[in-house]
Amino acid sequence: MLHRLRHAASDLEIGGSLEGVPYGETRFVSYEELMRLPQVSVTVSDDTNFGKTVEISGVELEKLPGVLGAKRGASMVIALSDDKYAAHYPAAYLHAHHPLLVLRVNGKQPANWPLGVDGVPMGPYMVSHASYTPSFRVLSHEDEAQVPWSVVRMDVRRESEVYAPIEPQGEAASDPVVQQGYVIAKQSCFRCHSRLGEGGLKSNRHWGDLAEKAKNDPKYFDAYVVDPKKINPKSEMAASPEYDAATLGALRRYFASFSGSTP
């Protein structure tokens, strides 16, 4: 299925830990080849990207590592959008929520999909669920649905390698509150902010920037997390008005463990 060159604009880019593929190189798989894989069809009513009930069909993400020839242990799937947003799907998320790489919406190919709630095309690929029920809660952070659109690439990776750069640092690493912040940050912040080559690149503020704000300007840090547009009207970061003082404090203590570390 994997080709060295792109043959059509609809080809999905594939990367990560793949058998027979040098790390760092990419491959491509066509839409037609993906359509030949076993499909799951479901009715979706709670995906905020659609804003209405739709029928979707696609390939289960938890099957992709095997289909693509992932190396042993590379069970994490990462969906990357054209704006460099990265949605991470560790094994626990895949098993709990069974997300789909969407290939058809209401029986139609990506070019004919309905526009998203913001009026933008959601293709060439996206990820959704038959339904979504949060599987955990940490303080006031609830397990969030990872439903990116405009997906152009999928990586299969080892979780330990992906998360290694953002594991809590120094003497505070074993602090239970810091660990709570870590759980929140790796599901939420990691989608747009990066450290040492891992994470999303949608934001130009890397982990070290967040660490410095968390340590040296906690009021600004809290205010931006809760309502980013109030501080920067052009911000594309999602607001988290539900985060209480304990949750914000856990995030700050987690990020503060990186203060002064390598950018």
Rounded CA-CA distance 206/192 in Å is 9
pLDDT digits (tens, 9 = 90+) for 175-185: 999 999 999 99
Using the predicted structure, report yes or no on whether residue 248 has a pLDDT greater than 60. Answer: yes
Rounded CA-CA distance 91/75 in Å is 6
pLDDT of residue 116: 77
pLDDT digits (tens, 9 = 90+) for 109-138: 999 998 877 778 899 999 999 999 999 999
Mean pLDDT of 67-80: 96
* pTM above threshold 0.75: yes
Q: Please give the structure tokens belonging to residue 129.
A: 């669920």
Look at residue 244 and give its three-state secondary structure: coil
229 in Cβ contact with 235 (< 8 Å):
yes
Using the predicted structure, report yes or no on whether residue 17 has a pLDDT greater than 80. Answer: yes
Rounded CA-CA distance 80/75 in Å is 16
The Cβ of residue 40 has, within 10 Å, a number of other Cβ atoms equal to: 14
Look at residue 243 and give its three-state secondary structure: coil
Rounded CA-CA distance 190/206 in Å is 10
H-helix segments, 142-216: 159-163, 176-187, 207-216
CB < 8 Å & 24+ apart, contacts of 205-213:
206/263, 207/165, 207/166, 207/255, 207/258, 207/261, 207/263, 208/258, 208/261, 208/262, 208/263, 210/255, 210/258, 211/255, 211/256, 211/257, 211/258, 211/259, 211/260, 211/261, 212/259, 213/255
pLDDT digits (tens, 9 = 90+) for 214-231: 999 999 999 999 999 999
**Structural domains of the chain in order of their starting residue, each with its CATH number:** 12-157 (3.90.420.10), 163-256 (2.60.40.420)
Rounded CA-CA distance 209/13 in Å is 30
Peptide bond into 124 cis (omega under 30): yes
Q: Which of 21-25, 104-108, 169-173 has the highest mean pLDDT?
A: 104-108
Look at residue 5 and give its three-state secondary structure: coil
CA 2 to each of CA 10, 13, 15, 201: distance values in angstroms, whole numbers, following the listed order: 14, 9, 10, 25
